[in-house]
Structure 1
Amino acid sequence: MTDLPSSADVIAAHDAALGAPPVAGDANDLRGWIAANHFHNRSLWAHEDLARRTQAPDAEIVANKRAIDRHNQARNDAIERIDEVLLSALGLVDPATLASALPRATAAPGARLNSETAGSMLDRISILGLKIAAMREQSRRTDVDDAHRGMCGERLQRLVQQRADLGACYDELLADARAGRAYFKVYRQFKMYNDPRLNPALVAEAG
């Protein structure tokens, strides 16, 4: 079976990436898709901050909102690719159906279905990494009072614990999947608002 990254591997890669400017890179394997997901989460975070400005020209806010849509779609696409690669490596999906809208699971009888996919868990770990970095920065500010730094320090500890707990759940899911005790599925996102065939407002514009 392909060597799959542990939560510790993923967290280390996420944190290392935060120490450098965001680079999209090529996603052609599991670690590449994990990095792509993290890149799009970083980009989303930056544009979400900018979109909340109150003194910027409307055109800039519109550009931020459209960038948010693009990165959110790409983020979700990366989650699906992560799930596909993991399920293939674990032997939990029919290869002939993997690219379809409804990939067929091949789990052992009696295995429990995990409600959250491993890709979704890694996405949440990525977002928690961003929250941790931002809260750590807040806890070290010198232009605020002790109360602000103390509050942020307490929140930082909670976020670190939350990421560690989620990482342990991801590791447990992979271990159970390897042992035939659990499985998950690829769930297509079907983002209707980005599809000109399905978004009523875009359909009306085209008509």
Structure 2
Amino acid sequence: MPEITLPASAEVIAAHDAALGAPPFAAEATDVRGWVAVNHFHNRSLWAQEDLARRTQAPDAEIVANKRAIDRHNQARNDAVERIDEFLLSALGLVDPATLTGALPRSTAPAGARLNSETAGSMLDRISILGLKIAAMREQTLRTDVDDAHRKACAQRLERLMQQRADLGRCYDELLADARAGRAYFKVYRQFKMYNDPRLNPALVAESQ
């Protein structure tokens, strides 16, 4: 198999961190790196909306708007994970192209390869979220309106979060290496978010009748 250029964890983490220094923008995607950026955008947007939704003095209408935005971004975030997995598996030659966009993409993994329960796309999604946690926790260590005990506790949490991201990045890199060598594979797992589908959510079905 020819050498395949796939995003390593270090590249993804650097892109995630660089994006945090700029205003969120709705990225467009034509390749796996584009979908990684789309996923990170929606995770950033989710983070902001989750904070706003927990306000206790905001009008109910604003909280409703936050909750609906959360649903939209969460759906788009999960859609991006599926696109990432499609691109990665296609590049690795581990999925039947004719079935790729269907409900049940057919794996073409070699006999004897182990199935990884978590997909590479879901790992990158978790790495994105860890990047947001790291940035937010780092801000807590720099606050001047809290005592040293607060900053110290947050510094310890920051260290642990950074270790978790590094560990997960290594696991992602190892999964891709094993998949390229025919030792492991993963699948495209459709999320089928029923609560966002007016045909499948019982409450929305009842409203339409």
Q: TM-score, normalised by structure 2?
A: 0.98
Matched, 1:8 2:10: yes
- In 2, distance between residues paired with 1:86 and 1:160? 25
Instruction: State the Cα deviation string for residues 177-199 of structure 1 (Å, max 9, x = none).
Output: 00000000000000000000000
CA shift, 1:28, in A, is 1.4
Matched, 1:165 2:158: no
Identical positions, percent: 85
- In 1, distance between residues paired with 2:27 and 2:192? 25
CA shift, 1:109, in A, is 0.5
Instruction: State the Cα deviation string for residues 23-57 of structure 1 (Å, max 9, x = none).
Output: 11211111100000000000000000000000000
- In 2, distance between residues paired with 1:99 and 1:80? 10
1:196 to 189, 192, 198: 198
Give the structure 2 partner of residue 28 of structure 1.
30
- In 1, distance between residues paired with 2:28 and 2:136? 26
- In 1, distance between residues paired with 2:129 and 2:119? 16
- In 1, distance between residues paired with 2:74 and 2:183? 32
Kindly tell me the number of residue pairs found equivalent between the two proteins.
207
The range that moved more, 176-185 or 22-31, is: 22-31
Q: TM-score, normalised by structure 1?
A: 0.99
Give the structure 2 partner of residue 123 of structure 1.
125
Instruction: State the Cα deviation string for residues 123-150 of structure 1 (Å, max 9, x = none).
Output: 0000000000000000110110000000
Q: How big is the alpha-carbon RMSD for the aligned residues of Structure 1 and Structure 2?
A: 0.5
2:148 to 146, 149, 163: 146
* Structure 2 residues without counterparts, runs of 5 or longer: none
Q: Give runs of ≥4 in structure 1 deviating > 3 Å.
A: none
